[in-house]
């Protein structure tokens, strides 16, 4: 019997250390899994924000469109030109449409140059073309291009969006 008692006593003694090894291994595996999960969560949340910020910063923000400002060029432009042996006159009231008041003020300093270029442009027109709506639109586009060119040359910036004819008389 003594032999029988020793065997059951030895078996539980051997089983107990094996249980401790399993417990330690299970705890280590559990810590590794929890550590990996928390590291993955930190990487996901913080790494995701870091990658999103450079993309947003890389894209230029949409510029805020300022309200339109209109600067009427006074007095009206009156030019004369000869077409087919007859003297003709054209009177044009011009307004400039811009968005930035500071840049528009910079352009006002150069109004004599701008007015001179517009007078030269208006005096070179063909009377027959100005009688058609397409001719007036073409002249407005030419005037816009000329004013933009002058603004770019004199101020270094695009100041004027459009040149508008508020009154147009040809005779």
Cα separation, 141 vs 137, whole angstroms: 6
pTM of the prediction? 0.60
List, for the chain, all residue ranges whose pLDDT scores fall below the cut of 70.
1-19, 47-61, 63
pLDDT at 55: 53
pLDDT at 8: 53
Count CA within 13 A, CB hemisphere, residue 142.
Answer: 16
> Which residues are within 8 A (CB) of 124 and not within 5 positions of it... i.e. 6 or more apart?
81
* Residue 101: C-alpha distances to residues 44, 61, 86, 96, 163 (Å): 47, 21, 43, 12, 16
Q: Which residues pair with 116 in a beta bridge?
A: none
pLDDT at 120: 93
pLDDT at 48: 57
pLDDT at 49: 54
- Joined tokens for residue 106: 């910079």
pLDDT at 51: 47
> Which residues are within 8 A (CB) of 107 and not within 5 positions of it... i.e. 6 or more apart?
96, 98, 114, 151, 154, 155, 159, 160
């Amino acid at each position: 019997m003594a032999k029988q008692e020793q065997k059951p006593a030895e078996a539980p003694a051997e089983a107990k250390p094996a249980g401790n090894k399993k417990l330690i291994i299970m705890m280590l595996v559990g810590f590794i899994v929890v550590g990996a999960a928390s590291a993955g969560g930190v990487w996901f949340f913080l790494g995701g924000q870091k990658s999103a910020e450079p993309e947003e910063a890389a894209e230029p923000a949409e510029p805020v469109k300022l309200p339109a400002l209109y600067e009427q060029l006074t007095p009206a432009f009156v030019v004369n030109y000869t077409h087919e042996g007859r003297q003709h006159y054209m009177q044009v009231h011009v307004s400039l449409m811009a968005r930035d008041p500071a840049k528009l003020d910079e352009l006002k300093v150069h109004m004599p140059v701008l007015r001179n270029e517009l007078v030269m442009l208006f005096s070179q027109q063909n009377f027959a073309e100005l009688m058609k709506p397409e001719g007036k639109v073409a002249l407005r586009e030419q005037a816009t291009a000329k004013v933009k060119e002058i603004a770019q040359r004199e101020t270094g910036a695009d100041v004027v969006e459009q040149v508008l004819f508020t009154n147009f008389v040809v005779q």
